[in-house]
């Protein structure tokens, strides 16, 4: 019998061979990092290890407490309905087993750090020197009909945009969710940037990625002056292991409280919104649009009415 609680990782799209392989590799990496825990995984619609099968393996190996942790970047309908249903059905059949649900990874600053690493690695593949102010970041989410997940994707995109200093950022989606990646890229090509980085904000790679990149390229094929780079998804980045470990600890100790990890006064992360006097932000009327607009400024604040304070007196002192 295991003295430590067992860990069960669950995810979506088990019918996708590339996704299932990446998921399996991540489960193995978690086993290496947490050798004192029994760890298994399961996927919806999997040809191999389904959610009930993975849970059954843990029970046979002596688990009496199982922490169920989602491998999802955002909470979504699957997490709220499909996954709990599968696990609850298993729990009903095993009343002697204690089940604890860990929360999803949304709001953890390490996700943004992992995204930053993938984007920087993508930039390093180019032999062209193009400033980030002349670069548009296209953040692509998986196909989704969940409004909350889509909103969280937009929030992550904004934080990467401002935190990494890109000239602009857009959000699009794989599959048929609007705006699709080809619609988003066609719009992005009109904004005058010299480079567009296509970044799939996925937890794991999947078999749709080659087609996603092809659609992105085809949408801007006539704009030969724009450099298009393909960033890799998070794909089990090592920082995600730490995220999962913390979710397990929270679930075991009962500290699944409000999330303050993105507070600018707690730790430095990608794109914290902190008070700034650097000038109007991207939403201000005087900001302008496009990489060459002289009205563009790097600062951004959330003052009343989104209007910057009068700094003319301070400016006069500096320039005197």
- Please choose, from the candidates 101, 89, 96, 93, the residue with its C-alpha nearest in 3D space to the C-alpha of residue 10: 101
Domains 6-104 and 109-230 share a fold: yes
Q: What is the Cα–Cα distance from 22 to 234, expressed in whole angstroms? A: 11
> Do residues 270 and 160 make contact, with C-beta atoms less than 8 angstroms apart?
yes
Tokens representing 162 are: 């401002």
pLDDT digits (tens, 9 = 90+) for 7-28: 999 987 656 788 888 999 999 9
Mean pLDDT of 118-144: 96
Q: What is the Cα–Cα distance from 171 to 74, expressed in whole angstroms? A: 15
Confidence label for 271 from pLDDT (cuts 50, 70 and 90): low
> Do residues 15 and 46 make contact, with C-beta atoms less than 8 angstroms apart?
yes
Cross-strand pairs, 169: 137
CATH 3.40.50.1400 fits 6-104, yes or no: yes
Confidence label for 314 from pLDDT (cuts 50, 70 and 90): very low
- Please choose, from the candidates 292, 312, 305, the residue with its C-alpha nearest in 3D space to the C-alpha of residue 134: 292
Q: What is the Cα–Cα distance from 121 to 192, expressed in whole angstroms? A: 24
Q: What is the pLDDT of residue 318?
A: 36
Q: Transcribe 65-132 into DSSP letters.
A: EEEEEE--SS--HIIIIIHHHHHHHHHHH-TTSEEEEPP-STT-HHHHHHHHHHHHHHHTT--S---G
Which of 150-159, 183-192, 260-269, 285-294 has the highest average model confidence (pLDDT)? 183-192
Residue ranges of domains in the chain: 6-104, 109-230
Confidence label for 97 from pLDDT (cuts 50, 70 and 90): very high
> Do residues 72 and 11 make contact, with C-beta atoms less than 8 angstroms apart?
yes
Q: What are phi and psi of 154, to 5 degrees?
A: -65, -40
User: CA geometry: angle at 167 spanning 176 and 273, to 5°?
Assistant: 90
Q: What is the Cα–Cα distance from 284 to 295, expressed in whole angstroms? A: 10
Say if residue 260's pLDDT is above 50.
no
Tokens representing 249 are: 């600890």
pTM for this model (two decimals): 0.77
Q: How far is CA 311 from CA 278, 280, 302, 303, 306, in A?
A: 10, 11, 16, 14, 15
CATH code that applies to domain 109-230: 3.40.50.1400
Q: What is the Cα–Cα distance from 33 to 222, expressed in whole angstroms? A: 47
């Amino acid at each position: 019998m295991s003295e430590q609680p067992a860990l069960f990782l669950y995810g979506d799209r088990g019918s996708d061979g590339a996704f299932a392989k990446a998921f399996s590799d991540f489960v193995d990496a978690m086993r290496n990092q947490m050798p004192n825990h029994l760890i298994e995984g399961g996927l919806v619609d999997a040809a191999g290890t389904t959610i009930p099968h993975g849970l059954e393996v843990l029970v046979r190996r002596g688990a009496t407490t199982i922490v169920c942790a989602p491998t999802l970047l955002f909470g979504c309908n699957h997490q709220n309905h499909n996954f709990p249903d599968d696990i609850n059905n298993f729990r009903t059949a095993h009343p002697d087993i204690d089940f604890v649900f860990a929360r999803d990874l949304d709001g953890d600053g390490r996700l943004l750090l992992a995204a930053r690493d993938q984007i920087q690695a993508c930039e390093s593949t180019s032999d062209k020197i193009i400033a980030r102010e002349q670069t548009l970041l296209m953040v692509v989410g998986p196909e989704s009909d969940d409004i909350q997940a889509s909103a969280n994707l937009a929030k992550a995109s904004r934080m990467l945009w401002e935190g990494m200093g890109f000239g602009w950022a857009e959000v699009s989606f794989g599959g048929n969710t609007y705006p699709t990646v080809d619609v988003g890229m066609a719009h992005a090509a009109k904004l005058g940037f010299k480079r567009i980085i296509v970044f799939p904000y996925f937890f794991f790679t999947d078999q749709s990625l080659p087609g996603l990149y092809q659609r992105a390229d085809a949408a801007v094929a006539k704009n030969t002056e724009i450099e298009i780079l393909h960033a890799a998804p998070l794909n089990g980045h090592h920082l995600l292991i730490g995220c999962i470990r913390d979710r397990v600890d929270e679930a075991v100790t009962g500290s699944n409280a409000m999330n303050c990890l993105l507070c600018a006064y707690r730790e430095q992360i990608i794109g914290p919104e902190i008070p700034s006097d650097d000038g109007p932000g991207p939403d201000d009327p005087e900001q302008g649009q496009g990489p060459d607009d002289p009205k563009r400024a790097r600062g951004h604040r959330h003052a009343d009415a989104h209007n910057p304070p009068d700094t003319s007196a301070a400016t006069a002192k500096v320039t005197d």
